[in-house]
């Protein structure tokens, strides 16, 4: 298992619904770039088939709907493909996807657990 940690929390589905499409494209590129930088910095190795678990560590205990964070996973997986870590983000290569909540931290971040199968 490899764990990729990225500082910050990507925008939610609800936030994207309120954004202009140019802003969405900008945010997507920013997150893909962040993923590519962290992949190199953290020496993440290539995988072929994985189970992925996204663990969101928020700054507070505010109530959040887990399904709003599925969009966040999309941007990160696209970044993993662009970085050459995943061949593709289809069901053949990402066979399982889970979203969970971690502990609170003053600096929010997301952990991506990748279990090679």
Q: Please, are residues 61 and 15 in contact by the beta-carbon 8 Å criterion? A: no
Give the length of the chain: 117
Element (H, E) at 52: strand 50-57
What's the CATH fold of domain 2-116?
A: 60s Ribosomal Protein L30; Chain: A; (3.30.1330)
Question: pLDDT digit of tens for each residue in the chain (117 aa)?
Answer: 999 999 999 888 888 788 899 988 898 899 999 999 999 999 999 999 999 999 999 999 889 888 888 888 889 999 999 999 999 999 999 999 999 999 988 899 999 999 999
- State pTM to two decimals: 0.90
User: Radius of gyration (Cα) for the chain, nearest Å?
Assistant: 14
């Amino acid at each position: 298992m490899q764990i990729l940690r990225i500082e910050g929390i990507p925008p939610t589905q609800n936030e994207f619904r309120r954004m202009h499409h140019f802003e969405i494209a900008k945010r997507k590129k920013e997150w893909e770039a962040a993923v590519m930088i962290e992949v190199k910095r953290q020496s993440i190795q290539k995988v072929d088939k994985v189970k992925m678990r996204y663990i969101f560590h928020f700054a507070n205990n505010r109530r959040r709907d887990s399904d709003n964070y599925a969009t966040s996973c999309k941007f990160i997986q696209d970044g993993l493909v662009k970085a050459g870590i995943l061949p593709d983000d289809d069901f053949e290569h990402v066979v399982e996807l889970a979203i969970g909540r971690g502990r609170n931290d003053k600096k929010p971040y997301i952990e991506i657990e990748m279990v090679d199968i």
